[in-house]
């Protein structure tokens, strides 16, 4: 059980020579997800060796260009590569219309099945779940309807404590599945052998929260409480708090405060405004409030 997060793009607004808009590739519990798809995402995927065929679920936070203008190009490429697996796309209402229109007008080769999951709720909701991972929305406040996403591993079965099990001759392999499922064992004598004696706790499920774009929104803290890895936008330094408020973005210190209040294990900040030439100051300022802060940088991989 682990998390591997690859930063594909982490800057705001327009792409530049060495600055790509938002996109991240997440591997969690052997599942693979693409989060946001700004311009140049598929180029970055190739550069950092992200497997196109592994992605079956794409999550778009909102319909600002720097978060989804790369989507139709990626979908077209999937078609050129003769993709046949269905693809699930999650995002705000309108994403289906704008995407299919572009593919239709351009007569792109997208013959695989696309399933759109359009979001409208302003409350957190479970939008994806399988036997490995669940994904819930994190309602954010921006200039347009926006959601972040919380990815959580499913808890695994308990591990067998073979040393203790070997002390009971009546317990055989046929009992193992029930024991792993958490059940006690009743011996022929009537004695109950409690599950906690026969098993070992599985590794703690890990979680990742993606929050971009948004103004300072402390009411998301209960949703992301105790998250292992948190990405939170920090478009501006604290001296431009007025501009952050006006544009409904967050500052470094606001992102750090969210991480602190949520008891996050680690914070990643990004979505830097192009007005700043040295992004290291973002980290320094955030660390005044939350020490375990790192910068999003294209190609950087975070492992939990």
The conformation of residue 151, written as its DSSP 8-state character, comes to E
Side-chain half-sphere CA neighbours of 238 within 13 A = 14
Residue 25 contacts residue 6 (beta carbons within 8 Å): yes
Bridge partners of residue 34, in order along the sequence: 25, 58
**Cα–Cα distances in Å, from 194 out to 162, 179, 185, 191, 295?**
14, 9, 7, 9, 47
- Active centre residues (catalytic): 66
Q: What is the CA radius of gyration of the chain?
A: 22
Q: What is the DSSP string of 10-54?
A: -B-SS-BTTB-BSEEEEEETTEEEEE---TTHHHHHHHTT--GGG
**Cα–Cα distances in Å, from 132 out to 32, 154, 230?**
11, 5, 20
């Amino acid at each position: 059980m682990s998390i591997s997060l690859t930063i594909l793009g982490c800057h705001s607004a327009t792409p530049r020579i060495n600055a790509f808009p938002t996109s991240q590739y997440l591997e969690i519990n052997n599942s693979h997800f693409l989060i946001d798809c700004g311009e140049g995402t598929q180029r970055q995927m190739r550069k950092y060796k992200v497997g196109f065929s592994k992605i079956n679920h794409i999550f778009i936070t909102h319909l600002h260009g720097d978060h989804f203008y790369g989507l139709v190009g990626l979908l077209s490429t999937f078609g050129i590569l003769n993709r046949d697996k269905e693809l699930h796309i999650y995002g705000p209402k309108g994403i289906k219309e704008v995407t299919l229109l572009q593919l239709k007008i351009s007569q792109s080769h997208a013959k695989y099945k696309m399933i759109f999951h359009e979001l409208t709720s302003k409350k957190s909701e479970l939008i994806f779940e399988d036997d490995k991972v669940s994904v819930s929305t994190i309602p954010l406040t921006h200039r347009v309807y926006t959601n972040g996403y919380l990815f959580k591993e499913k808890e695994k079965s308990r591990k067998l404590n073979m040393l203790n099990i070997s002390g009971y001759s009546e317990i055989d392999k046929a009992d193992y599945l029930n024991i792993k499922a958490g059940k006690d064992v009743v011996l022929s004598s009537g004695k109950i052998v409690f599950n906690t004696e026969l098993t070992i706790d599985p590794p703690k499920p890990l979680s990742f929260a993606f929050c971009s774009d948004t103004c300072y929104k402390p009411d998301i803290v209960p949703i992301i409480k105790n998250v292992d890895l948190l990405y939170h936008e920090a478009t501006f330094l604290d001296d431009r708090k007025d501009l952050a408020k006006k544009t409904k973005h967050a500052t470094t210190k606001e992102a750090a405060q969210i991480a602190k209040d949520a008891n996050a294990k680690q914070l990643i900040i990004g979505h830097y405004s192009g007005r700043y030439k040295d992004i290291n100051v973002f980290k320094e300022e955030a660390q005044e409030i939350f020490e375990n802060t790192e910068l999003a940088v294209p190609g950087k991989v975070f492992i939990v």
